[in-house]
A and B are shown apart, each in its own frame.
Chain A
Amino acid sequence: MTFYSPVITNATEVAKSERLHLFRYVEDPNQRSIDTFISRGGYESWKKVVTSMKADEVIAEVKGAGLRGRGGAGFPTGMKWSFVPKDSPKPRYLVCNADESEPGTCKDRVIMERDPHAMIEGMAIAAFAIGSHLMFVYIRGEFNESIRTVEAAMREAYAKGFLGKNVLGSGYDLDMVVHTGGGAYICGEETALLNSLEGEKGLSRIRPPFPAVEGLYACPTIVNNVETLSAVPHIIKHGAAWFKSMGTEKSPGSKIFSLSGHVKRPGNYEVELGFNLKKLIYDPAYGGGMLGDKKLKGVIPGGASTPLLTPDMIDVSLDFESLQSVGSMLGSGAVIVFHEDTCIVWVILKLIQFFRHESCGKCTPCRDGTGWLEQTIRKIERGEGKPGDIEKIEDICGNILGRTICPLGDAAVMPIQSAVKHWRDEWLHHIEHKQCLVKTNFEFK
C-alpha cells in the first residue's frame, strides 16, 4: 500500500502548450510505460541525437539553451559537459544524481516514479554528448518505488533497443546501471556520490581535479541531477531558442518547485523560472495560502540549506539571481513555509539536527561545528540558553562557512545566520525568558 504524492500541475497552462514539459504527463499513470511514452514523442530526441548528431552539436544546443543544474548549484549544464577532455583515452561516465535528500525537496522522486523514461532519455543524450558508454543513476536507498520503477523502465528501454549494443542501429553502445545509495545526504554532493559509487564511505573529495576531468574510477565523469537531465530531451526536440523563451534571461526554462509546510495545497509545481514566490504560496492554483488562514512567518525558499526569508521579502522572482539579490538562494527549489505559530529556534533546531546527523565527518569545522551548534541551539530551545549564546552561534557559524571541502558546512550555517539576523529578538526572548515566544505544538490530523 502506497499513498502517492498529490502531484499538482496547472492543467490549463499545460493544455495550452508544451511550455510546461517536465510535468506534462506525470498525472497519467500510463506515462510510466514505454509505449505511452513513445506515443507522446518520447525517445525521438534520443533517436535524433544518436543517429544524426555529433556530440559537439548536442553540447552546443544545451549550452545555447542556457540550462542550469537543477540540483542546487545552478551551474550551466552544457558548459559542464564541455569540460570533459576531448583527448582522454580513459572511459567516460555519466552519472545521474537521484540522491534527493534535502529537507523540503521531493521533486526528482516524482519524475522517477511517474515519468522514468524522461530521465533515462536525458541520461542517454548526456552520455552521448560526453562520449560515455556506461551511465549510472544513483538513487537514494529509501526510494524503493523509484528504484522499482526506474529498473522496470530501464529493462523496457533495453528491450526496445534504446539502450545496449548498437543503439537503434547507430553503432553506439550504451549501458545503464541503477545504483542504490545508503541514505546519506552527503552522497548528493557529487564527489561524495562518486566515492559512494566506488564502494567507499561517502566522503567528499578535494577539488580540483573536478569530476569532469577525474571522477568515477579517476575517469572523466559528469554528474547531473534528475530534473536537469529530464529537461534535455525537450531542448533537443524544441531547440535552444524555445527553452530560452521561458524563464528569465539568466535563468531560462521551467523548474519544479516542491512546496511544503503550512500551505493549503502542498505539492510539486512546475512553473517558469522567474515565477513570483508570493504567488506560488498564495495563488489558489498553487499553494492556496496559509493553513487556517494564519499569518505567514517565514519561508525557506530553496531547501533546508538556503537562507530564510521574512514575509516582507517574498514578493520576489524564483530564479537564481533574484533570490541571490535578497540574500538567499534558489537551491533545489524546495519552498518550505511556516506560519505564526512556529518558533524560529525550533525550526533552526530541526535543520541543524539534520546537518549534524548528515555531516560525513571529514572536515573538522563541519563535524565538530554542527554538533556544537546543535547542542547550543537545543539548550536555547529547552530554555537553558545563556546570554552570549547568540554570539557563540555566530562565531561557530563564521568558523564553518567557507572552511570545508564540500558545501555541507555552508549549507548547515546559512539558514542559521539568516534566522539569527531576521528574528534576533525572538532568540533573545528565548534566552531571557527561558521559553518560546510562540510555543510550537503541531498535531497531525
Chain B
Amino acid sequence: MILTKESVAQIKEKVALYPKRKSAILPAITIAYHQVGHLNDELYKEIADVIKVPFVEVAEAATFYTLFVKQPRGKHLIQVCHNISCALMGSDSLTGYLEQKLGIAKGGTTKDNLFTLITVECLGSCATAPMMQINEDFYENLTREKVDKIIEELRAKG
C-alpha cells in the first residue's frame, strides 16, 4: 500500500462531499500526487479501491490531466511557464539559465535527485512574469539574483 492512512482518510472525506462518488476522483488523485510526487498504476488502483470506482476511471482521469507527473522525478519539481506573457519577459532565457545552473537539460533530473526541470503552459501569473512553480509554490517576477537565492535555499534544505 503506497497511500498513507492520512491520505486514505483525506480521500474518504472528499468522497463524502459529493452527491456522486466519482466526483472525488480528481481530488483523490491530487491527494495521492501530493503524497508521492508522481502517479502510477498502483496508485490508480489504490485510489479506485478507496473511492469504490473501477480502476480504469481513475487511470482515464489521471492521464488526461497534465498537472500530474507520471514518472518519478526529483524532490523539487521546477515548472517554468513558457507561454506568451512569460516568454515576452524572457522565460526561454530563464529556462536556459536553470539548465546551466542545474547542469541538466529541460526534462531532466539532477544526479542528486533534488531538482527536475520542465516547462509548462500558462500558470496564470502573467503580470508577474517571468515565473516558475516549484512543487506547490509560485515564484514570480524572477531575476537571476532571485533564482540564485531560491535554488541555494532549496539546496541547503536538501
Binding site for B on A (CB under 8 A): 1-6, 91, 100-106, 108-109, 134, 140-145, 177, 179-185, 196-202, 217, 258-262, 266-268, 300, 304, 334, 336, 338, 342, 347, 350-351, 353-354, 357-358, 360, 441-445
Contact = CB atoms under 8 A, between A and B. Distances in A.
20 contacts: A3-B141, A6-B128, A104-B85, A106-B124, A106-B127, A142-B67, A181-B67, A182-B29, A183-B66, A183-B120, A184-B67, A185-B122, A199-B23, A304-B122, A354-B121, A441-B93, A442-B88, A444-B93, A444-B142, A444-B143
Nearest to B90: A444
A1 B67 CA distance: 21
Contact of B68 (A108, A182, A353): A182
B26 A443 contact: no
Contacts of A358: 121
A5 B85 CA distance: 14
Interface stretch (B4-12, B57-65, B105-113): B57-65
Contacts, number: 189
A279 B122 CA distance: 26
B19 A91 contact: yes
B90 A5 contact: no
A102 B122 CA distance: 7
Nearest to B145: A445
Nearest to A262: B88
B123 A442 contact: no
Nearest to A300: B84
Contacts of B139: 1-3
Contacts of B36: none
B91 A444 contact: yes
Nearest to A196: B26
Nearest to A257: B127
B140 interface: yes
A106 B66 contact: no
A267 B124 CA distance: 12
Contacts of A144: 136-138
A445 B24 contact: no
Interface in B131-151: 133, 136-144, 146, 150
Contacts of A266: 126-129
A385 to B, nearest CB: 20
B83 interface: yes
B101 to A, nearest CB: 13
B126 A443 contact: no
Nearest to A176: B17
B150 A104 contact: no
